[in-house]
């Protein structure tokens, strides 16, 4: 599959920022033409309930998201990756560097769109500056 520049992204209206972001990216890339509720149903996030005595009833996003997000995208045939680390972990700096390299490679795809490139560089600068 070829690489393409997605110029206009808009998040969907949802209680979970993950599926709202997925919807915006897939729709912007032309990979999803249906409504958000159908994406939520087909990925399974619409039916995701938390039933635990120590969870607040409003905690709809308390789940093992590193696994669940991969499974959600797999259900609709979209490859995704999840990388997780925390600042106190021994491997944090390695994963942080790998993430920054991936972002920089992705920016090479948007060089034709100067505004998008500048926006992405601001995000990278913020991430590096906040965690340096």
pLDDT surpassing 50 at residue 82:
yes
Over residues 40-72, the pLDDT tens digits come to: 999 988 887 666 667 666 665 667 778 888 899
pLDDT surpassing 60 at residue 110:
no
The pLDDT of residue 20: 87
pTM of the model: 0.62
The DSSP-derived string for 17-82 is HHHHHHHHHHHHTTS--S-HHHHHHHHSGGG-----TTS-TT-TT-S-HHHHHHHHHHHTT-----
């Amino acid at each position: 599959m070829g690489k393409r520049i997605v110029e206009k992204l808009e998040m969907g209206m949802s209680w979970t920022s993950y599926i709202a972001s997925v919807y915006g990216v897939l729709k912007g890339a032309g990979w999803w033409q249906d409504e958000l509720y159908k994406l939520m149903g087909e990925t399974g996030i619409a039916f995701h309930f938390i039933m635990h005595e120590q969870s607040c009833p409003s905690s709809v996003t308390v789940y093992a998201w590193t696994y669940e997000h991969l499974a959600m995208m797999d259900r609709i045939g979209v490859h995704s990756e999840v990388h997780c680390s925390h600042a106190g972990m021994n491997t944090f700096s390695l994963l942080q560097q790998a993430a920054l390299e991936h972002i920089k490679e992705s920016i090479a795809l948007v060089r034709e769109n100067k505004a998008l490139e500048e926006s992405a560089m601001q995000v990278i600068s913020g991430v590096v500056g906040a965690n340096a």
